[in-house]
Amino acid sequence: ALPRGPFGSLDVTVREKEAVKLAGVDFNEVPSAEVGWALAAVLEAVPNAKSTIVYGGGGKTLARLGTMGRAQQVEAGAILEKAMEEGEQAYLADLQILPGKDEFSYLPINTQAVVVQPLGDGRALVLGGNKVRPFTARDLTMIQALASFLAQTLPET
């Protein structure tokens, strides 16, 4: 039997970080009603997602909805390129402590978390969150499902 000291009966709970108000400008630039619906559905279904961007490859931004940062166009960095190349979702749960945060200058400077969801054909959905570790397994699955619909509705690049 293990000895039970003063810490054996402690009730340890993880303190969640508070949501922040993202510092940026609201955008609503969508090429069609279907794309607008899909991006709005992501923001509705994933409560802590506040920024949605569709990157079309070659430095082309296809759509933006929500709060955006200082850069007007997406410049694909290593994280975005790797996610698109591998076709795998990338989730950065605490963006502020990562050196890769500078890659996401098109998101608000105080974005707390990022999800990069590849859409195929060199395109990707990028989501910015307002809280550290905001996205649950359910949220990530919902993002994948809505991204599948989004990939079919995007215009050809």
- Tell me the average confidence (pLDDT) per consecutive run of 10 residues in the chain, 157 residues long: 59 71 94 94 94 90 94 91 96 90 92 96 95 95 94 80
Predicted local confidence at residue 14, as pLDDT: 57
pTM for this predicted structure: 0.88
Q: Are 55 and 74 in contact (CB under 8 A)?
A: yes
Q: For residue 2, what pLDDT is reported?
A: 55
Q: What is the CA radius of gyration of the chain?
A: 17
Question: What pLDDT was estimated at residue 8?
Answer: 59
